[in-house]
Amino acid sequence: MTLQNSSEEFFTEFSKNSAPRPLLRVTNIEKRYGQRIGCSSVNFDLYPGEVMGIVGESGSGKSTLLNCLAGHLAPDQGEVLFDTRGAGLVDTMTMAEPERRMLSRTDWAFVHQHARDGLRMSVSAGGNVGERLMAVGARHYGQIRDEAIDWLGRVEINETRIDDRPSAFSGGMQQRLQIARNLVTGPRLVFMDEPTGGLDVSVQARLLDLLRGLVRQMGLSAIIVTHDLAVVRLLADRLMVMKDGHVVETGLTDQVLDDPQHAYTQLLVSSVLQV
């Protein structure tokens, strides 16, 4: 009787979740720099279409964590499982390097805080957008160019700028170009490190709107590291608050911001200047 009940519950639970498999499953990630903890005991599941924000002050370990997740840093412990198209959930840490690199230019994307870290500054805007296409085998100039024009349009860069180098672009345009360059292959997971950092407030708003639209239209999942609570409120479904390398609070973004439970989160939220 008990057994039957629990199995029924299990099936109700199971059928309720239309997408039972997470896109990314992170278990027990730890990264140390000698004695110092970069980040520790990080666990979460990210489902298709979900946007998760990671907030915390400088040195809280949020960037370390992001780099571990994206495969830029090797964690000392833990697993980062990604739902690959071919083989289902695979640990990206133990994956062969060619596969991981293939992943990072097809299903994954990484948007850097400084656009120049994510762009080839000596290559035209069109070449920057086309690179990922050529990397996966596109060999028709006209089609690559059409695709680049389409993407420049989507990130609101006039197509007359297609042959200009990013160095001739404003900061906001460079950031939008970086986003186009990353999203052109239709990734499923985007890592963003302070995507609006260093931009004017008016430019930030435009970028946020753009990102929201793209996330919705493409059904993207994203992990956004930022210290800007306004950015996560508008972009992230879920929030993870980090302090000294540890996750101190997680939950729905608006719940964490409006009814913070942990002392540090309360301090963080109450420290934001209201306008």
Partner 1 sequence: MTDYNFAYLDEQTKRMIRRAILKGLAIPGYQVPFASREMPMPYGWGTGGVQVSAATLTPEDVFKVIDQGADDTTNAVSIRKFFQATAGVDTTEETEEATVIQTRHRIPEAPLNEDQILVYQVPIPEPLRFLEPRETETRKMHSLEEYGLMHVKLYEDIARHGAIATAYAYPVKVEGRYVMDPSPIPKFDNPKMTMPAIQLFGAGREQRIYALPPYTKVVSLDFEDYPFEASKADHSCELCGADDSYLDEVIVDDQGGRIFVCSDTAYCAARQAAQSDAAAAQYEEISA
Partner 2 sequence: MISIQNVEKSFTLHNQGAAVITVMSDANVEVTPGECVALAGASGAGKSTLMRMIYGNYLTQSGSIRVDGVDVVGANPRDVLDLRRTTLGYVSQFLRVVPRVPTLDVVAEPLMVLGEDEGAARDKAAALLARLNIPERLWSLSPTTFSGGEQQRVNIARGFVHPYRALLLDEPTASLDAQNRETVMCLIEEAKTRGAAIVGIFHDESARDRVCDRVLDVTSFLPKGDA
Identity of the residue, 47 or 191, whose beta carbon is nearer to partner 2 in the bound complex? 47
Contact track, partner 1, 79-108, x by CB under 8 A:
------------------xx--x---x---
- Block residue for tokens 């086309």: 130
Would you say 126 and 184 are in contact if contact means Cβ atoms under 8 Å apart?
no
Using N-to-C axis directions, what is the helix angle for 171-183 and 201-218, rounded to 10°? 10
Taking CA atoms, 123 is separated from 110, 166, 257, 260, in Å, by: 19, 8, 42, 46
Start-to-end CA span in the chain (Å): 58
Identity of the residue, 21 or 140, whose beta carbon is nearer to partner 1 in the bound complex? 140
Scanning residues 118 to 157, which ones bind partner 1 (CB under 8 A)? 120, 122-124, 126-127, 130-132, 134-136, 139-142, 144-145
61 binds, among partner 1, partner 2, none (CB under 5 to 8 A by kind): none
Amino acid of residue 67: N
| Contacts to partner 2 by CB under 8 A | 16-17, 47, 50, 202, 205-206, 208-209, 212, 216, 233-234, 237-238, 251-252, 254-255, 258-259, 261-263, 266-267, 270
Identity of the residue, 53 or 71, whose beta carbon is nearer to partner 2 in the bound complex? 53
Residue from 51, 66, 157, 162 in contact with partner 1 (CB under 8 A): 162
Residues contributing to the site for partner 1 (CB under 8 A): 97-98, 101, 105, 120, 122-124, 126-127, 130-132, 134-136, 139-142, 144-145, 162-163
